[in-house]
Structure 1
């Protein structure tokens, strides 16, 4: 199948100029203080019925309110975006190599690429993320951005503009400041203009909430446990005075009670030897339940975002290094999963269209952000060495696969030209006499 047939939807020339409003003046805040379970359930039900305005506001508020979610989301994004972007040709054919070189130059010189990828990576917990591709005329001073049509920038689409059509598919409202409730009668998302990315494997409809749906309740309980803990300390955590009166006379007890009441003003007590005063305070174990509950909520949030907990919360597993290695493998699997999904989004929704618009006939190259781990690279290289020792070697078609696994382009080592040393090349005749010699007269 030809590349033009595979990506025939990109043949249409996209409109030039940005449509997405980038101002934040219409961002409506959502208070976290009055949030409860009933409110969260109401927001989710409204989103399921096509009105996700409050859902997007709740996503923003929960992330901004919880520092633990921010830290875990940074780890998830940085594991991919912290590595260099690698562009590997689809094959060794000349047109595929030319397309890969052009795409790599375009991506490296696109100033808004990193910011837009950071936005698209929100899709690992958000149900969907969308960005707009802004095209313009080719600039002769910036030929790397396009020789016919230039990709000027990629603009993140604010979540408040994402709605749903009658089929439940995401659409973008190009009018800011207007809130549409329920499903809208609108065509599907224009693939020539917008990038749509999902960084999770949940097959439920996007309007149902994605991974953020479960994070809502955990973040709510985590924040509530802190409030409950503060209320407990306010009520029972402050030291209090206990007086003992060695008398059954109510008058003596009333005098001691009055003395305790004045103690906070006078800063001391004057009592008889028959009475005793003790200063009591809440035991240290009284708040352990709140602390354990909060730690449990945070561990579940880490498990949803990162797939494991040991990189966030230090805990004694009692099983040696086996558990740590196992959770480390889970973290690497999540990183490679994100790299593959984001690379495919760039390849099929950005690079493929850009190549067609600029007349490149080669197939879109493979896009990756990270190779394998050090241990996996060592195993791969050991396997290649074993093949070499057995008289075998990888074919040329295997080089792109090895490049993707290692994390940088590789090529076959050029064979050395053997150096032949002969007597004539050394400037001597056979026998060791000089090649250019004088003839002596022998009489």
Structure 2
């Protein structure tokens, strides 16, 4: 009898070489075979380095939100996502399916749900329990509630389980389509995801310690020292009486001392450098938290310039898009469940979030000037430049000959007025900054230095756009006049 050719992939599993499909589909690198994991029958511990060092769960991260700076950064980060517009892209889905899904989202408290979902970026993962109910013959989610993440664990197969009193070690298995789990940067090695609060723990802890010592330093050296002098022959009772009088003097600024005693008040000099050490520590810790949660520290520091603050907001927008993707993925999973339970159709709508685009006034004014100069802008241009739908653009009536006859060929006055209006916001900003410096200056020399500092990094981007627009319009006006003469 011939022995089958193959390879042992486990203690009790033999794969023959004649079974290529099975050998390719089987998972070989698993925790059950790894030498680094010996926790079979138990839950998979959270590999977060801070939690491992402390021996605690994510409750310690929840306590950090009481810090004013951490809480403010969290509110700002969540508000950036909640301010986005949302909607459903129907795609190839049937109208009945799209309308049903849209009605489901209209009945949900999306503001609260999105706020709870965004806790996933803080703690790595955020279980959301879906409450199903019958509505009009369909089984639909009537509410989605965020549950404390520390109640849940992952097993060796990366499946979410609920730790209960009956099974606190391994946790109870959860039914399908019951829990949405938004996660940030989850992987096979770390199904819990990456918690941004882990980057804030030590800076916030050191900040609290530095603030404590700074307060003690302020109490010790911030107030002047009251020194009492008494004759060498004074008794202990007389010394104690003088000390009590000095304590009353510190509180009430009034004291009665013997005529042969003296009181001297001294300021704590030379301690400014020591105080700056604590202040620098606090500013460093605050900057670390801002970088961890917002991606930058420009818009939270008083020393930031207008240009650097605007650059910092661009970094925050990238992080906002990452948070938005987590929310979109969770809602699209919910849509997939709804369609699987109620509709026999693979085509389904897609949940999307986007930023409401503001109309660029400089571009709009440029288009108006070009139109007056004779340029004809197409419908495709308006749809692309202003994000308009085709049915939102009315068909313009063809121009009449008398309109050209009555038009004024010299449109310089109108163009100048529009250009002046476009440049006014930039000029108003410059004048307001100059006015603030003048009000704060004590002398002409100080005013000169302040103006040099204020306009060292002058943001002339707005005015540059207007000047470029003026040159472009002038060039086009000349071309139109030459063409008209021809």
TM-score interval for Structure 1 and Structure 2 normalised by the shorter chain: 0.5 to 0.7
Q: In 1, distance between residues paired with 2:176 and 2:267?
A: 65
Q: In 1, distance between residues paired with 2:204 and 2:288?
A: 10
User: Which position in structure 2 is the counterpart of 1:83?
Assistant: 84
Measured against aligned partners, the alpha-carbon deviations of 1:237-277 in whole angstroms (never above 9, x if no partner) come to 443223568xxx8448999966742423584254668x753
User: Which position in structure 2 is the counterpart of 1:135?
Assistant: 132
User: Which position in structure 1 is the counterpart of 2:281?
Assistant: 293
Q: In 2, distance between residues paired with 1:375 and 1:224?
A: 48
The answer to whether the Cα contact below 8 Å between 1:211 and 1:304 also exists between their aligned partners in 2 is: yes
User: Which position in structure 1 is the counterpart of 2:301?
Assistant: 313
1:351 aligned onto 2:352: no
How big is the shift at 1:41? Answer: 7.4
Q: Structure 1 residues 276, 361: CA separation in 2 closer, same or farther (over 3 Å shift)? A: same
1:279 aligned onto 2:277: no
1:62 aligned onto 2:42: no
The answer to whether the Cα contact below 8 Å between 1:256 and 1:271 also exists between their aligned partners in 2 is: no
Residue in structure 2 matching 1:303, options 291, 301, 307: 291
TM-score by length of 1: 0.63
More helix by share: 2
Which structure 2 segments of 5+ residues have no match?
1-47, 399-486
Q: Structure 1 residues 131, 203: CA separation in 2 closer, same or farther (over 3 Å shift)? A: same
RMSD: 4.3
The answer to whether the Cα contact below 8 Å between 2:204 and 2:285 also exists between their aligned partners in 1 is: yes
Matches within 5 A, 1:108-257: 108-110=106-108, 112-139=109-136, 147-167=137-157, 169=158, 171-173=160-162, 175=164, 180-181=168-169, 184=170, 191-199=176-184, 205-207=190-192, 210-243=195-228, 250-251=232-233
Measured against aligned partners, the alpha-carbon deviations of 1:340-359 in whole angstroms (never above 9, x if no partner) come to 33112211x11121123221
User: Which position in structure 2 is the counterpart of 1:101?
Assistant: 99
Q: In 2, distance between residues paired with 1:60 and 1:179?
A: 25
Helix, strand or coil: the match of 2:326? helix
The answer to whether the Cα contact below 8 Å between 1:302 and 1:308 also exists between their aligned partners in 2 is: yes
1:268 aligned onto 2:255: yes
Q: In 1, distance between residues paired with 2:360 and 2:317?
A: 11
Which structure 1 segments of 5+ residues have no match?
1-39, 48-53, 140-146, 420-443
Q: Structure 1 residues 312, 202: CA separation in 2 closer, same or farther (over 3 Å shift)? A: farther
Q: In 2, distance between residues paired with 1:209 and 1:115?
A: 23
The answer to whether the Cα contact below 8 Å between 1:126 and 1:211 also exists between their aligned partners in 2 is: yes
Q: In 1, distance between residues paired with 2:73 and 2:114?
A: 17
How big is the shift at 1:70? Answer: 1.5
Helix, strand or coil: the match of 2:297? coil
TM-score by length of 2: 0.58
Helix, strand or coil: the match of 1:135? strand
How big is the shift at 1:124? Answer: 1.6
The answer to whether the Cα contact below 8 Å between 1:126 and 1:210 also exists between their aligned partners in 2 is: yes
Measured against aligned partners, the alpha-carbon deviations of 1:141-169 in whole angstroms (never above 9, x if no partner) come to xxxxxx421222212122232112124x3
The answer to whether the Cα contact below 8 Å between 1:239 and 1:279 also exists between their aligned partners in 2 is: yes
How big is the shift at 1:99? Answer: 3.4
Helix, strand or coil: the match of 2:52? helix
User: Which position in structure 1 is the counterpart of 2:10?
Assistant: none
Q: In 2, distance between residues paired with 1:310 and 1:98?
A: 48
- Runs of 4+, deviation exceeding 6 Å: 201-204, 252-256, 375-380, 388-392
For these two proteins, the number of residue pairs brought into alignment is 339
How big is the shift at 1:290? Answer: 2.0
